[in-house]
Each structure stands twice: as C-alpha cells, then as structure tokens.
Amino acid sequence: MRIIPAIDIIDGKCVRLTKGDYNQQKTYNENPLEVAKMFEDFGIKYLHVVDLDGAKAKQIINYKALETLATKTNLNIDFGGGIKYLQDVETAFSAGAKQITVGSIAVQKPELMLEWLNQYAAEKIILGADCKNRKIATNGWLESSELDVLSFIQEYEKNGAKYSIVTDIDKDGMLAGPSFELYEEVLSQSKISLIASGGITTIEDVIKLKEMGCEGAIIGKAIYEGTIKLKELSELC
C-alpha cells in the first residue's frame, strides 16, 4: 500500500481544514517545500497536493508551489484542486504532477473526464470521490450532488477508471478514524484501486487499511498533529 502524506495549500502555505470548511483553517507551515523535504527524509516516496485556492476558484492557482515541490524533491506527486479544463490538466502535468485527481468535472462534465482518461491513460487520472452522507460533493466540497458514491465509482470503473481517492467529508480532519465500512463496501463491490482519505488517526488505522486491500492511504492532519509519527510511516513504507 502506498503511504501518501498530504499537503493542502492556501496562499502558498501548508494548511489543514476541518471537514473541508475554509473557515476552520489551521496553518502548519508557511513553506510547503520544508514539509515535503521532511517527508522525503523519512523515506516516503509519494505526496498528495491539493490546491484549495484552486478548488474554490475553479481554476489552478498554486501551480508554482506544485512546480517547486516537483523540482526540489523526488516525490511522486498527485495533484488536485481547480482542474476544470484541458489547460489545467496540461498545467498540472507540466508543473511536475505524476497523477492528477479529478472530482468536480467527473460529476459535472463526465464526457470531459472520459476524454482525459483516454488521452492520458487511466494510470495518470485519479477519480476524486469526495462524499458527505454518501453523496458526492464538488468544488472544494462547497457544493453537493445527488450521486451515490458507490454508484459513481462503479460507473467510472466501467468506463476505464483505475484509481479513486474516496474521502468521507465528515471524517476529514476530525482525527476520529476513517470510514472503514464505506471502504469495505467499495472494495467488495468494485475492482477500483482505492486510495483511502479522511480521518486516518493512528498507525493502527493505516495497518487496517492495508490489510483491507486499499491501494493507498492519504494521511494529513494525523501527521501534523503528531498522532502518527513519520518514523512509524517510514517503517511501513
């Protein structure tokens, strides 16, 4: 299982939100590169970067920060936030992203998402499945839809999607454990490579996700608040 620390960026700074609420924002470091290098020093190879300004603005904002992270480290970066048009896709890949995460467009313009899956290959495009009460949310979690998360994933899997980041918004940033039941359902009813995100709190959570068969685990606040130590993650890598 891939261990994937998260860096969320607002105004070029490394921050975390609670339940995706922009009004519940905490800055952990004003220099995301320092954080990324710390991850790398512990032998971690992957990084999840979210442009929260971009998600809100509906266009990539912090591409320079992505470029810095990609050129100054050897981390394999997946990038999301504000990817709405082909130009955004090209910007993210040009700035050094190895994969991109597409959520809102997959809901609002599925034909565009399918074009990108075909054009760039399924290995490079991650389906973002962020949900609240099982319903898919979009645009930095500021808007909701009526799409059920499992049906959403199954439909894209049939159309070639290989990876999906599944986030239970109510769990995100709460340090109260991830949505194991939801992940078990997705794993049992699809063949998607599931990347768990949201609520991961302890190293035991990470181990359980690995044993369940998750392809990856995105870990954010637990690292920044110290409930999971980088040394523990290093030993798992």
Is 130 catalytic? The answer is yes
Tell me the three state secondary structure of residue 206.
helix
Strand partners, 25: 17
Query: Cα separation of 37 and 188, whole Å?
Result: 36
Query: Cα separation of 43 and 145, whole Å?
Result: 39
* Amino acid sitting at position 206: V
Query: Cα separation of 103 and 127, whole Å?
Result: 6
Is 168 catalytic? The answer is no
Q: Identify whether the C-beta of residue 75 lies closer than 8 Å to the C-beta of residue 47.
A: yes
Of these residues, 51, 88, 130, 172, which one is catalytic? 130
Query: Cα separation of 44 and 35, whole Å?
Result: 12
Known catalytic residues are 8, 130
